[in-house]
Structure 1
């Protein structure tokens, strides 16, 4: 890709990295030094500013660790006589008050590692949704504990990460579609609540005027 084309695509940034080429804007004020590594599994160009991404060997090593972590958190134990499994995350969630919050903090490690691998924002948002929903379900008494058998956020996120590393374009497309759907649902929810509030206020106003 020509340098001019790259500059046109990242003109709002102060620096960029493309392959082994590095450029930093030569402004009047001193610019900070940018340390970088070539971003693995990245799009046609990689934008890095004061942040180091993992290389291929680091990604493979981190991938194995995250797979083991997800297994420990979600699938360590099996209920005798059944195929149902649960992990340390379910046990941590039993701690009153802080269990679900602690589980969400531990689960966020997978999200952080995915970000360092250069995973696109759409996939990170989907991972964050999985963690948030898991924490939200955990708040509900009894049902929250049962949900650990059904909604395994860590396993889902690691599987999503593995899918991205193997089929990046397909996974990104699906994640963007999911984020779009969730955005639409949130918009409709906000619109519904706003309309409901407006109708309630109108009803109260008419009731007062009627008296």
Structure 2
């Protein structure tokens, strides 16, 4: 039974609140979608929409930059310090700059995971300032 206040995204109930726990769940889901939602058959290497959509020239880079910027926007709403926001923005900008280069950029998307790096920055902040949001992963 689904809750109308928690929309479903890819079969996962997504919180819509602005509390740190809801934001953490949304950011973890977004990072999973962008960086690790599929596996390359044969080599079992995780890839996500960032690498797949990035194959589309220009439009793919615009879309993946916007999705990466969403993580920075959510971090700003959480009250992360400006230097952390700048670092997250630099990760997105570097990913975008390298992604513009044909072929090389597509390969770099598999190796440089700006959204994973940015999620790590947000998680460290939440673990320190909102420890109740921690989830023990098993």
TM-score (norm 2): 0.76
| 1:148 corresponds to which of 109, 117, 121 | 109
Q: Give the aligned partner of residue 98 of structure 1.
A: 59
| Gap runs ≥5 in structure 2 | 1-16, 130-138
Quote the offset at 1:81 in angstroms: 2.8
| Residue of structure 2 in register with 1:73 after alignment | 34
TM-score (norm: length of structure 1)? 0.51
Contact 1:84 1:149 in 2 (8 A): no
Q: How many aligned positions are there?
A: 113
2:8 aligned residue: none
Which one of 154, 161, 165 corresponds to residue 122 of structure 2?
A: 161
Q: Work out whether residues 110 and 154 of structure 1, in 8 Å CA contact, stay in contact via their aligned partners in 2.
A: yes
Residue in structure 2 matched with residue 113 of structure 1 by the alignment: 74
Answer 1 or 2: higher relative contact order, Cα 8 Å, separation at least 6: 2
* Separation in structure 1 between the aligned mates of residue 126 and residue 50 of structure 2, nearest angstrom: 25
Per the TM alignment, residue 82 of structure 1 is displaced from its structure 2 partner at its CA by: 2.1
**TM superposition shift of 1:130:** 0.5
- What RMSD over aligned residues (CA atoms) do the two structures have, in Å? 1.6
1:74 deviation in Å?
Answer: 0.6
Aligned to 1:41: none
Q: Alpha-carbon deviations, 1:158-191, whole Å to 9, x = none? A: 11100111236xxxxxxxxxxxxxxxxxxxxxxx
1: CA distance, partners of 2:18 / 2:70: 19
Q: Name stretches of at least 5 consecutive residues in structure 1 with no aligned partner.
A: 1-55, 169-211
Q: Aligned pair 1:134/2:95, yes or no? A: yes
User: 1:45 — aligned with what?
Assistant: none
Kindly name which structure, 1 or 2, has the bigger radius of gyration based on alpha carbons. 1
